Structure formats: structure tokens, C-alpha cells
Structure 1
Amino acid sequence: MFHKEKSIQLKNSASALYNNLSVLRIAPRRLTYFTVVHANVVNMAAFCALPSRDLLVVSSQKGIQMYESDGSIMVYWHALDTPEAPTAHAVFARGISAVSDNYICVGVSSGAVLVFDIPSKGSNITLSEVLEEHKEAITDIASECSGSQECLANLVTADDGGNMCVWKSGEEFQLLNKIPGLDITCSSVKLWKGTVLAGYGTGQIRLYEAVTGILHAEVNAHARWIYSLDIAPFSGLLLSAAEDSFVRVWHLAITPETNSVEIAHLHNECVTDTQICGAKFCDGDGYAFAVTGYDLSEIIRYVQL
């Protein structure tokens, strides 16, 4: 179904961080930007595509920086609160997502989710709200249906305990549902057509109805810790990547009669002797995807046959 294309060489290798790959496709210019985190100074870097602008958001132990999408100009800096006395817990930001028309959400180690209001241009970015439902460090954040009235739930946040919160964005974010964890880290999460797609440290993928929390499906997808999930929204293709060196492609389909979601396995790729830490589709149809691995100095690309 997919074949390997020429790799993109990196100056440095990728760190063993969850979701350590972000992709931004600029269709009019036929360009694709990739970002990968190296070493331990930066916790995460992600492209955030809003209707009016694209930003590169970088989080570190000291703060959150927002740049123009090519990284040329920093437009905003937000310092993280650090305790006066040393503690056993590190302070970091992890989990980044654009949501609705003008918000970017960033999760932090305290369990809080910072909501930034983004203007259509300029640097007048403000911290508009802090969501404090989680009690453990945020691992990932995902959104969908920007501005759609049909999509009630358009943001999901996950933490180290496997707990997830489902939100409706707006001038004040509304908590719609809390999906309890099983004390197993939910390392990667996506939202697709009202369904929460969650990857866990057990190697399992679970599909939940976002608003009710009903479990649609549970799959023993990998032999080891899942590091990354991604969804191609137009085709329903789901990508999963794990420490077991495998990247797997699945297909999701909604059954109209029961309004349930079914998952079917389509394809495997093995990156031999590599702890995979990032995997992303390069387009909304799932025509191509890219993969990063711990201590790997390249981005490996696969394209449909």
C-alpha cells in the first residue's frame, strides 16, 4: 500500500519524546515543513494552522515561544511558573494544538492547559484562559472542526494518568466530558468526527465517543509503548507508531445504523531497530506519511503506491 521514498536528512537526531514530529503543508507553494526536537532543551515543537495564519510553537522548560511558520520571527514569549525551591518534579510544557478560529492550547506539567488568543496578524497574543481539570502532567492535546456548529466537542486533552477531558471551545471553554484513565499514560490523542482516538503505554488504541465516553473499540495495536497517533481526516486513515519499531495504518469507518466507529488494519512498516517517536500524515487524505525515531538523523517518508 505504501512504499519508502528518499529520506530527509537532519542535522541532529530525534529525541525520545512523544509525538516528536510536526508537519505543515503549504499547498499553494507546494512546500512541506517538518520540525523535530533534538536533545532536552526543548520539550516539543508543533506547527499550528489557524484560518488566518500559521505559527510554529516551541515549548521548553523555561517557557513557550511562538514563531512565524518558517521560524524567522518570534512573535510571542510566555514564561512558565517555576517554583522558588527545587522540587522532584520537572516543569515543562507538552501538548500543543490550534483550536477553533483563533486559539492555541498548550499543556503544562502541572496539568493545566493554557489557552492563548491569537490575532489574525501581529504579536498582540494574550493568555485568555487556564483550564485546570487535570491533576497530572499533560501529554497531548488535539482538536478538530474549527468553527463548525455541527461539532459539539472540538478539543481533547490527555494526561500521564490516562485521563482525558473533552471540551467545547469559545470565549470560555466548556468541559463536556471526562474520560477516566486506568493509571496507564495516554501518550497520544486525536479527535475525529466526534470520536476520541487514544494511544496508550500498553500499546493499545481505544476509540471513545467524545461526548458520552462510550468505548467503541479497543485494539492491541503494538507490543510496546505507543508514541504517536495521527489521523487523515478526509479518508479516515489512522497512523500509529510505537517503541516496537512498527508504524501501522488503520482505517476508521462510522456505521450509520449504530453511530459506532469500526477500525480495520491496512498496512505495516517496520523501521528496524528503531524506537519510533513520531509519525505524521503529510496531507489530509493520508497519501503520504513521515516517521522519526530516537537517535535517528533522518525523517523517513512513505507514499501510497
Structure 2
Amino acid sequence: MHRTFLSVNTHAPPGAFPPPSLLYNNLSFVEECGALVYASKKDCIVLDLESQKTHVLPTGNVEKEMVVHCTATLAPVGLLHPDRSLLILIVMESSTQLWTKDSPLGFVPHNDSNGGGCCGAIVSLASDIAHILISTNKGVVIFAEFDATPNTPFRVVSALKGHMEHAVTAVQLNPFHNSPLFAVTGDSVGRVLFWNRKREPVASVETPECVTALQIVSGGDLTVVANGAGKLQIFDSLTGVLRVEICAHSRWINTLAFSAATNTILSGAEDGYLTVWSIPKNPEGSITPVEVVATHHAPNVFPTGAAFRADGTHLFVSFYDVNAVTEYTFV
């Protein structure tokens, strides 16, 4: 019998803040900082779980525009002060901005030729650098970096129109730095590209629907792709060969979350179901066994984002039009 979810806490920002926006993958959790990050209309909300303080970004007097995606990670050690600092990537149609929870670090403008900002990803290395990926609604994939370089700490390294004119709707940078895979991107017509560490596409696959979420798992060997048909597809990250296809949900999958500690994936969809799947850490041969670990139905709400705690025993989920983030454990 499968396990289910038990709600153990509700994390609500103090004050009158709009709820999480109806976006794909609209939640990040940075364990070292105890911070939840999500987009809420024209704001990026940073909720400190320990102090229960809320930071609202971007700050300033300029007229704000809608945040289309935001994500966060821990800054590389020694790059910012204090060392346990957040790096927050905020994607808007006109620009992508990089922030700490208190101040801006730089921005990349988007123009008519490359298209407006669509989504982004950020990972930190043990060295003094963070890799950043930004996508646009005209098929452009932008690779950027943030480090201690004077004058240009946040800068574009390369940009390629890998997805023709199709909006790039999901992106992921590889958290496993020993893998030859660097990134995976997916677009509105179902095309998925796998990128090597030279930032070149090395494999391309066509999937049946708009790609809504991506996760790189099993040490970088496998990539999980979610789409608008409610399917999960697992591909070999180096060759693009399809290993498993699962009819996971009856409606669009809005979010995927990954626990490296347990090598499990959480999928959340418009049908209100949240399901945790186990994936082999060391896939061998052509068989990739995938099993349901736990499942839960949240009626009358749309999950829009999810994130595991580092040990994989607790899970945060954001819901559209619910002004709080629910924390679950498994029973």
C-alpha cells in the first residue's frame, strides 16, 4: 500500500501579500538559509521560516511588471557576505534580474529579437561561481554566470536559438557537476534539448505536448520530463533515449520536485494529485524501474510549485490562490 501525505505546518507570509501565481514550478526552498521563494504577481516573495520575516523583490520605485518565474539557490562560499546568502533569479518579460534578499546584483535585458523572458535556473559550484540559464518566448536559451569578476559579475556567456521560435517553457541546470550533461531545456511544442558542458545541444527529442517541468536525477544519468498531457517521460541524459513513459496524471503537470537524498520525484498536476516516485540511483541496462512511493489528493486547488527538504522526508507545496505554503511529511 502506498504512503500518503500528512500536513505538518503551514507557512504564510505575515501581512497582506497576494498568493502564489499560477505558474509552472513556482516554488524554491534553500535549506541552508531556511527560505521559501515564489512568484506572486509582480513580486518575488522570500519567506524566512526561522524569523518569519518576508522580503519582497524587486525593490525600488520603478514601475513593476509581472514576474514570470523566480528561483533561488545558496550563493557559492566566499562570493557574498555573509556566506549563507541567497542568490535569487527573477525572470520578467523585459529583463532577468539577480538579487540577494536585500539588494540587486545585476540584470540581463531582453529585446524584441530574442524575445521576452520565460523561465530560468541557477546552480552554484563549490568554486566562486554560479551558473545561470535563462529562456525566452522566442526559443532562445541564454547561458550566464555570476562570480567575483569586477564590473561584470553577472554576464551572458552565450545565447542560442535552439528551439526555433517556440517558447522555452522549462529549463534545468545539472546539479551533479561530475556529469557531462550541463543543462536540459523544453519548449511549448514538446521539444527537449540536452546540452553538454560546452553549452552545445548534443541530443534532441520530440515529446507529445508542451514541456512543463524538468528534473535531472540519478547523478545526471536520467532526465524526467513532464508535459501537458499528464505524462512523465524519463530519458537517458546522454543519448536522449526514452527509458520510461508513465501516464501519471489526468491533467497538466504543473511542477516537479527532486530529492537527491532519496532519488525521488514529486509530480503535482491540475487534477489535484501529488505523487512521489522512486527512481533507480544507478540505472543499468534498458530497464528503469519506477515505483509510486506516496500519493495525495488536494481537492479544489492547483499545485503550482513544490520543493523537498534536504533529507527528503518533508515536502513544501504551493497552491494557486492559497496564500500559504503547506509542509507535508509522509505516513
When normalised by structure 1's length, the TM-score is: 0.87
Post-superposition offset of 1:201 = 0.4
Aligned to 1:199: 226
Aligned to 1:35: 37
Give the Cα separation in 1 of the matches to 2:293 and 2:217: 18
Aligned to 2:110: 80
Deviations 1:117-154 (A, max 9, x none): 21147762211100221121111111224431xx1213
1:99·1:144 contact (CA, 8 Å) conserved in 2?
A: no
The one-letter code matched in structure 1 to 2:20 is A
Aligned to 1:152: 180
The one-letter code matched in structure 2 to 1:223 is S
Give the Cα separation in 1 of the matches to 2:232 and 2:205: 14
Deviations 1:149-202 (A, max 9, x none): xx1213111111111111112xx41222111233x1010011113111011101
The one-letter code matched in structure 2 to 1:263 is V
The one-letter code matched in structure 2 to 1:59 is V
The one-letter code matched in structure 2 to 1:5 is V
2:70·2:88 contact (CA, 8 Å) conserved in 1?
A: yes
DSSP 3-state at the match of 2:279: strand
Return 5+ residue gaps in structure 1 as ranges.
84-89
Deviations 1:190-237 (A, max 9, x none): 111311101110111011111222211111111110000111112111
Aligned to 1:134: 163
1:92 aligns with 2:117: yes
Give the Cα separation in 2 of the matches to 1:257 and 1:104: 31
1:299 aligns with 2:325: yes
Give the Cα separation in 1 of the matches to 2:297 and 2:283: 34
1:185 aligns with 2:210: yes
Matches within 5 A, 1:118-133: 118-120=146-148, 124-133=153-162
2:107·2:154 contact (CA, 8 Å) conserved in 1?
A: no
1:244 aligns with 2:278: no
Post-superposition offset of 1:18 = 0.6
Post-superposition offset of 1:94 = 1.4
Aligned to 1:6: 9
Give the Cα separation in 1 of the matches to 2:107 and 2:25: 22
Aligned to 2:24: 18
Return 5+ residue gaps in structure 2 as ranges.
43-65, 80-85
2:316·2:327 contact (CA, 8 Å) conserved in 1?
A: yes
After superposition, the Cα gap between the structure-2 partners of 1:164 and 1:50, relative to the gap in structure 1 and judged at 3 Å, is: farther
1:243·1:276 contact (CA, 8 Å) conserved in 2?
A: yes
After superposition, the Cα gap between the structure-2 partners of 1:91 and 1:126, relative to the gap in structure 1 and judged at 3 Å, is: closer
Matches within 5 A, 1:275-290: 275-283=302-310, 285-290=311-316
1:24·1:32 contact (CA, 8 Å) conserved in 2?
A: yes
Deviations 1:56-76 (A, max 9, x none): 0001122111001xx201010
Structure 1 moving runs of 4+ over 6 Å: none
Give the Cα separation in 2 of the matches to 1:266 and 1:133: 36
Residue identity (%): 19
After superposition, the Cα gap between the structure-2 partners of 1:50 and 1:261, relative to the gap in structure 1 and judged at 3 Å, is: farther
After superposition, the Cα gap between the structure-2 partners of 1:99 and 1:131, relative to the gap in structure 1 and judged at 3 Å, is: farther
Give the Cα separation in 2 of the matches to 1:274 and 1:280: 17
Give the Cα separation in 2 of the matches to 1:267 and 1:121: 45
Post-superposition offset of 1:109 = 0.9
Give the Cα separation in 1 of the matches to 2:201 and 2:93: 28
The one-letter code matched in structure 1 to 2:177 is G
1:112·1:133 contact (CA, 8 Å) conserved in 2?
A: yes
Aligned to 1:230: 257
Give the Cα separation in 1 of the matches to 2:305 and 2:159: 28
Aligned to 1:208: 235
After superposition, the Cα gap between the structure-2 partners of 1:65 and 1:270, relative to the gap in structure 1 and judged at 3 Å, is: same
Post-superposition offset of 1:97 = 3.1
Aligned to 1:164: 192
Give the Cα separation in 2 of the matches to 1:181 and 1:226: 14
**2:98 aligned to which of 38, 58, 66:** 66
1:6·1:300 contact (CA, 8 Å) conserved in 2?
A: yes
Q: Work out the number of aligned pairs and report it.
A: 288
Deviations 1:226-269 (A, max 9, x none): 00011111211110001111111111115655164221011112
